[in-house]
Amino acid sequence: MEKMTDLFSKFDPLIQQREDLLATGVTDPFSLVMEKVISPTVAICNGRETILLGTYNYMGMTFDDDVIAAGKEALDRFGSGTTGSRVLNGTYQGHRECEDALKEFYAMDHAMVFSTGYQANLGIISTIAGKGDYVILDIDSHASIYDGCAMGNAEIVAFRHNDVEALEKRLKRLPPEAGKLVVLEGVYSMLGDIAPLKEMIRVSKENGAMVLVDEAHSMGFIGEHGRGVAEAQGVIDDVDFIIGTFSKSVGTVGGFCVSNHPKFEILRLVCRPYVFTASLPPSVVATAATSIRKLMHGSNKRAHLWENSKTLHKGLRDLGFTLGTEEPQSAIIAVIMPDLERGAMMWEALLEEGLYVNLARPPATPAGMTLLRCSLCAEHSSEQVTEILARFERAGKRARIIG
Ligand SMILES: Cc1ncc(COP(=O)(O)O)c(C=O)c1O
């Protein structure tokens, strides 16, 4: 018998890195269990009451009374799941209502709900950009965008993060008659920086490209109606496709694409990650639709979230931490750590202080950085933000990140 090649041997370097990290005595930062969730901003972790600062629950909708009531009612009326694809037995009244809420929210003609945002990117990118077409994307794009490219047959061209000139240069090199899709994000979730969409969309259009913007991290609070960075920069009418998720501001799970393209509906028949998977449970679409409708009137909460973001950014900077952006640009504030080991130590020190943030490391992060990513919530009180800063100071001194 031939000797079997262990298919897992490719993971050896990662296994070793993980073992080395755990050998330092640090708690595994990637296996935390939330034992009880009390509110959008507080949970019990390791038996300790912990402020949540790493949930992307920007608008705090997970415990909204109307959202919860809608979910319970749908569970009672429609059961626990659809057990089917959207194109067979998996489209219920609630899926349609959810799509109607999205069309109204974005003031667009079409909306398609997917089971996750990941699948929305996977499906839309791989389906609309085919053989002979080009996808031009920011090098710091989310994994779901890269995976959408990998699943499709288009040529992939990456350009330097947020660099308008680099985008223009790449576009000009492509055959003028070829189909082109420029893929951008409103907010880049690793550093919390926003894209210069106005200029990028201008050069895309000048060079005959369609534009897709992933607004996963801006929905609900950036832009006058919470439609995202494209709205805030006055260019939403020039965007061909907006991708979004229900797993952040909407407070549940699911993904979507909205568009004014007149032929958009055909995607329901040809988009494999839409067709070949089960649809979202009725309770989920009911909570999503209710949440989206409430987000249309969320301007007070938006203002408070911006306040929180500004206070935390300034406070962390004053304490001596190195941050991912000069100014707060979104509800994400990234604290740059010297390396993975010190980052994990700081993460653990924060957890011991009763503060949860996300530890992010390469390859998910740009430029090999280790980051402590903080995402603020409109439900964080001003007192909680003050307390968060105090915990950062104590943990930062203990982990020797600040002096
Ligand atoms: C930019 C971006 N797009 C898409 C997704 C995927 O969203 P979902 O959690 O709904 O799969 C994420 C989630 O992390 C994201 O950050």
pLDDT per residue as tens digits for the range 358-390: 999 888 888 889 999 999 999 999 999 999 999
Q: What is the pLDDT of residues 343-354, one digit of tens each?
A: 999 999 999 999
DSSP string, 205-217: HHTT-EEEEE-TT
Distance CA(102)–CA(211), nearest Å, equals 19
At 333, is the pLDDT very low, low, confident or very high (cuts 50, 70, 90)? very high
Find, among 249, 259, 246, the residue nearest to 285 by Cα: 246
Q: Dihedral sign, CA of 70, 72, 76, 80?
A: positive
Give catalytic status of residue 248 as yes or no.
Answer: yes
Specify the pTM.
0.96
Mean per-residue pLDDT over the chain, rounded: 96
Residues with CB under 6 A from ligand 1: 116-118, 121, 142, 144, 185, 189, 214, 216-217, 245, 247, 255
pLDDT value of residue 17: 87
Ligand 1 centroid distance, CA of 216 (Å): 6
Among 189, 249, 283, 291, the one annotated catalytic: 189
Q: 189 — phi, psi (to 5°)?
A: -75, -20
H or E, element range at 120: helix 117-128
Encoding tokens for residue 196? 């210069």
pLDDT value of residue 369: 92
pLDDT value of residue 200: 98
Start-to-end Cα distance in the chain:
61
Distance CA(75)–CA(78), nearest Å, equals 6
Name the DSSP letter for residue 5. Answer: P
Residue 24 pLDDT > 90: no
**Cβ atoms 24, 187 nearer than 8 A:** no
Among 217, 304, 313, 380, the one annotated catalytic: 217
CA-to-CA separations, 83 to 70, 275, 281, in angstroms, rounded? 20, 13, 8
Q: Work out the average pLDDT over 82-110.
A: 97
Instruction: Please count the CA atoms within 13 angstroms of the CA of 202 that sit on its side-chain side.
Output: 9
Q: Domain ranges in the chain?
A: 22-59+298-398, 64-295
Ligand 1 centroid distance, CA of 350 (Å): 25
Q: 394 — phi, psi (to 5°)?
A: -65, -45
Architecture of domain 22-59+298-398: Alpha-Beta Complex (3.90)
At 27, is the pLDDT very low, low, confident or very high (cuts 50, 70, 90)? confident
Q: What is the pLDDT of residues 116-166, one digit of tens each?
A: 999 999 999 999 999 999 999 999 999 999 999 999 999 999 999 999 999
Token match 């933000």: residue? 385
What is the pairing mode between strands 241-245 and 110-114?
unpaired
Q: What is the pLDDT of residues 200-227, one digit of tens each?
A: 999 999 999 999 999 999 999 999 999 9
Ligand 1 centroid distance, CA of 332 (Å): 14
Percent of the chain with pLDDT over 70: 100
At 107, is the pLDDT very low, low, confident or very high (cuts 50, 70, 90)? very high
Q: What is the pLDDT of residues 278-332, one digit of tens each?
A: 999 999 999 999 999 999 987 789 999 999 999 999 999 999 999 999 999 999 9
Look at the domain 64-295 and name its fold: Aspartate Aminotransferase; domain 2 (3.40.640)
Report the nearest atom of ligand 1 relative to the CA of 185.
Answer: 1
Name the DSSP letter for residue 8. Answer: G
Ligand 1: which residue has its CA nearest to atom 8? 117
Distance CA(267)–CA(132), nearest Å, equals 19
Ligand 1 centroid distance, CA of 5 (Å): 35
DSSP E strands, 160-205: 180-185, 187-188, 193-194
Lowest mean pLDDT segment, chosen from 18-32, 49-63, 178-192, 207-221: 18-32
Distance CA(330)–CA(221), nearest Å, equals 9
What is the pairing mode between strands 355-356 and 48-52?
parallel
Q: What is the pLDDT of residues 245-282, one digit of tens each?
A: 999 999 999 999 999 999 999 999 999 999 999 999 99
pLDDT value of residue 299: 77
Percent of the chain with pLDDT over 90: 91
Answer yes or no: same fold for 22-59+298-398 and 64-295: no
- Choose one of 55, 56, 118, 332 to mutate for the ligand 1 pocket test, by most ligand atoms within 8 angstroms of C-beta: 118
